Amino acid sequence: MANDATQSIHDPATAGEDQYLTFILAEEEYGVDILRVQEIKGWEQPTPLPNAPDYIRGVINVRGMIVPIIDMRLRFGMEPMEYGPTTVVIMLRVINEDRERVMGIVVDAVSEVYSVGADEMQPAPDFNTRIGIDFVRGLATVDDKMILMLDIDTLLGPGLIASTDAIAAEATA
């Protein structure tokens, strides 16, 4: 029998709805398009990169592919937290212009998979928080809680990809 996440992706009852994997950061819930999730891994110490911004924790080797690891707490300007047993790295497929790249994001914990219809997604107001509005795809209310749905292509966009590529090339030269 398929697990709930896989079953709901192919369930005709959820047609017209997108699936989002949600995760926790500082007791807030965020979501990313589940079709962009490659895998979820437990925390492992990456190889640090010299001269990298603090939110770029380093790189790991995943089946021969070098993957930059981004700490989302630090990326959003939140207080750092010691990594624990629920800390995970979500491997995401990021698409920008003519490039596709796998990047890992460190989060406090994975939460749920939700189906959200276009009519349930509200545009993000300009609320001057740690997350610029350009990173937010929208807001959805699910089970009486508000979830910020992130646009990972903007959040982990071309500038971040270029800087991690340049730092990694410098480190291996």
What pLDDT band is residue 168 in, cutting at 50, 70 and 90?
A: low
Q: What is the pTM of this model?
A: 0.81
Minimum mean pLDDT range among 28-42, 96-110, 123-137: 123-137
Q: For the chain, which residues make up each domain, given as ranges? A: 17-172
CA 104 to chain centre: 7
CATH architecture observed for domain 17-172: Beta Barrel (2.40)
> Residue 127 — very low, low, confident or very high, per pLDDT cuts 50/70/90?
low
pLDDT digits (tens, 9 = 90+) for 83-118: 999 999 999 999 987 788 999 999 999 999 999 988
The Cα angle at residue 7 between residues 3 and 9, in degrees rounded to 5: 125
pLDDT of amino acid 5: 42
Choose among 104, 73, 108, 100: nearest CA to 91. Answer: 104
Secondary structure class of 29 (helix, strand, coil):
strand
Which is it for the CA torsion 158, 49, 90, 101, positive or negative? positive
- Position 45 scores a pLDDT of 94
How far CA 55 is from CA of 95, 122, 159, in Å, comes to 20, 29, 14
Kindly report, residue by residue over 43-57, the tens digit of the pLDDT. Answer: 999 999 888 889 999
What gap in Å lies between CA 75 and CA 18, rounded to an integer? 26
Helix (H, G, I), strand (E, B) or coil at 2: coil
- Looking at the DSSP bridge assignments, the partners of residue 147 are 140
What mean pLDDT do residues 9-17 have?
54
Residues whose CB is less than 8 angstroms from the CB of residue 79 and which lie 6 or more positions away in sequence, other chains included: 26, 73
